[in-house]
Structure 1
Amino acid sequence: MFLRLILPLLLALFPALPAAAQSAAIGFGQGDFDRSAPVEVTADNLEVDQASGRATLTGNVVIAQGDLRLSANLVTVDYATTNGNRTIERLNAEGDVLIVAGQDAAEGQTAVYTLGTSDILMTGDVVVTQAAGTLAGDRVAINLNSGAGTVTGRVRTTLQP
């Protein structure tokens, strides 16, 4: 049951993850992902609470598909029930969060991915590293549909000439 619920989340999580740059569209990993590749989930522990609609993965959590990887100390999956069907609503990653896509990487202390709006919010000394340079701030908000992002909180960047 759990794999049937989490698999759509994992497939939705791995489309194109754009990096954030103040209201600019910057492709994170260039969106070239094999969505048919197997999704691998590893963690030290898994707890599923059917009553609350939450699954919790703890300890060395790694979710990978092809060249795309999400790792964190803790990942919770929140579900919503609509017309009797349970769907994944939100993915919450905490503790040393790292998202890697090919040569691109984003790291921070937390990440929340809301599937309905296609928004990712990373907080806690976020650093996005791409071939063109680095971008950092306290908070990075990304919309997967538009590719637009905003960095706030003492924004720092390094650009290669």
Structure 2
Amino acid sequence: MLLRNLALSLVLLSATTVMAAAQTAAVGFGQGDFDRSAPVEVAADSLEVDQATGRATLTGNVVIAQGDLRLSADIVTVDYSTGGGDRQIERLNASGNVLIVAGEDAAEGQDAVYTLASSDILLTGDVVVTQAGSVLAGDRLSINLASGAGTVTGRVRTTLQP
């Protein structure tokens, strides 16, 4: 009886470990040679600027490009920081039909936050990553553009080819 309970415990422990591991997947994204000093080009149907808060809101067919990185969304708010007396883009907050393309890699979701200083992007909401014909889906994608490292978390789904 003790041996049977021990065996059952080991099976349950290993199943729990496999399920936890299946909820996270490491991915490469982009080439890892991203130039965060490249100029940021912006196109949108409309722009509203609030000088008091240091925030700009872009709406309608928003496309933002920096080097080989492209971000498109329905709405993007741009947060600025004041460094040395100059305003610089600190963060881009994208929402609605977000698409991020870096080189041959693409990811889509509902919301994204791109922190320019660290080159980090957090994409959330039914995330789908497409790379070289492979598709990986999950709840969140965290990317560091400088290293090209990414992690998909939360109910990760993919099809593995033998």
Tell me which interval the TM-score lies in, with the shorter structure as reference length.
0.7 to 0.9
User: How many angstroms apart in 2 are the aligned matches of 1:133 and 1:58?
Assistant: 31
Determine if contact 1:25/1:146 at 8 Å carries over to the other structure: no
User: How many angstroms apart in 1 are the aligned matches of 2:93 and 2:147?
Assistant: 21
Name the structure 2 match of 1:42.
Answer: 43
Letter paired with 2:79: D
Tell me, yes or no, if structure 1 residue 52 matches structure 2 residue 83. Answer: no
TM alignment of 1:11-50, pairs within 5 A: 22=24, 24=26, 26-28=28-30, 30=31, 40-50=41-51
Map Cα deviations across residues 99-157 of structure 1 (whole Å, 9 max, x no partner). 12344210000110112222110000000001151111111111223333222111112
User: How many angstroms apart in 2 are the aligned matches of 1:86 and 1:64?
Assistant: 19
Name the structure 1 match of 2:3.
Answer: none
Letter paired with 1:106: A
TM alignment of 1:67-146, pairs within 5 A: 68-146=69-147
Compared CA separation, residues 64 and 117, structure 1 to 2 (3 A): closer
Letter paired with 1:26: G
Compared CA separation, residues 72 and 116, structure 1 to 2 (3 A): same
Determine if contact 1:104/1:129 at 8 Å carries over to the other structure: yes
Determine if contact 1:63/1:71 at 8 Å carries over to the other structure: yes
Aligned-residue offset at 1:23 = 6.4
Compared CA separation, residues 53 and 134, structure 1 to 2 (3 A): same
Letter paired with 1:56: T
Name the structure 2 match of 1:4.
Answer: none
User: How many angstroms apart in 1 are the aligned matches of 2:69 and 2:142?
Assistant: 19
Letter paired with 2:146: N
Name the structure 2 match of 1:11.
Answer: none
Name the structure 2 match of 1:147.
Answer: 148
Aligned-residue offset at 1:73 = 0.2
Compared CA separation, residues 137 and 131, structure 1 to 2 (3 A): same
Between structure 1 and structure 2, the one with the greater Rg is 2
Map Cα deviations across residues 72-92 of structure 1 (whole Å, 9 max, x no partner). 000111001123221111011
Count the aligned residue pairs: 140
Aligned-residue offset at 1:33 = 7.8
User: How many angstroms apart in 1 are the aligned matches of 2:39 and 2:121?
Assistant: 23
TM-score by length of 1: 0.72
Percent of counterpart pairs with the same letter?
Answer: 79
Compared CA separation, residues 66 and 119, structure 1 to 2 (3 A): closer
Determine if contact 1:24/1:147 at 8 Å carries over to the other structure: no
TM-score by length of 2: 0.72
